[in-house]
Amino acid sequence: MSVLEPVVTEQKVAGTIEVLIVDDNSVIRMGLRSLLDTSDAVNVVGEAADGVEAIEKIEQLKPDIALLDVRMPRRDGLEVVKEVHERVKVIMLTYTDGPEVIRQALSTGARGYLVHGSFSAEEIERAILTVADGNMLLTSQAAEAMVQTTGAESASEAKTGAVRSQAGLSRRQVEIMDLIADGLTNGEIARACFVAEKTVKNHVNQIFAKLGVRTRAEAVSEWLTR
């Protein structure tokens, strides 16, 4: 066995969110594990050092969340997320902060995008809990990246005096879609709009149907380019 190959000896802990750490830098993997070991809600069930190993470990360990780097040997994170996003919720966790990379990751199935150095132990735990609960994690950095990559189209529309199409959304749904684009979770939207979270979920389902999308990332991308 290669000395670089992580050994999986972790036991699954009932009631915790099981996380796979994927990064080709062993120091980063160790640092992330140390951060997450302080959480009672998260259990690191394994590690992977490249994209190919990541897919194998996802199949083998069936984690709830995969923390996935972008730049890796053999297969990079953008390839991996496209292949595995229906089997595991993926949070990109990387030093790569290019707007186009962020947009591509979110558009192909990542549920969130975090850049190293921009979060604390408590914030990464909160990010994992948010995504595990079925919500999209749209940080201000990710939302800004999506705006930047669609800025030229939006500017063109502004010059011609075009008004963004509301795609048949009601006034309340437009309000909720704007909050989704700001990165709010369903619970946060419910509190902001003074309605039940179930009501927000119903609106979100209707919004997705009207926009012809399936995920929050797709909805935001579609919304920002209108």
Domains of the chain as residue ranges with CATH: 17-146 (3.40.50.2300), 162-224 (1.10.10.10)
The Cα 135–Cα 114 span in angstroms is 15
**Amino acid symbol at 193:** C
**Amino acid symbol at 112:** G
Say whether pLDDT at 71 is over 70.
yes
Q: What is the mean pLDDT of residues 146-169?
A: 51
Mean pLDDT over each residue of the chain, to the nearest integer: 81
pLDDT recorded at residue 166 = 66
pLDDT recorded at residue 8 = 40
The model's pTM is 0.63
Spell out the long-range contacts of 161-168 with Cβ–Cβ below 8 A and sequence spacing 24 or more: 164/226, 165/226, 166/226, 167/210, 167/211, 167/226, 168/210
Mean pLDDT lowest among 8-12, 92-96, 201-205: 8-12
Measuring CA to CA, which residue among 213, 214, 136 is closest to residue 182? Answer: 136
- Higher pLDDT among residues 199 and 194, named by residue: 199
The Cα 4–Cα 18 span in angstroms is 22
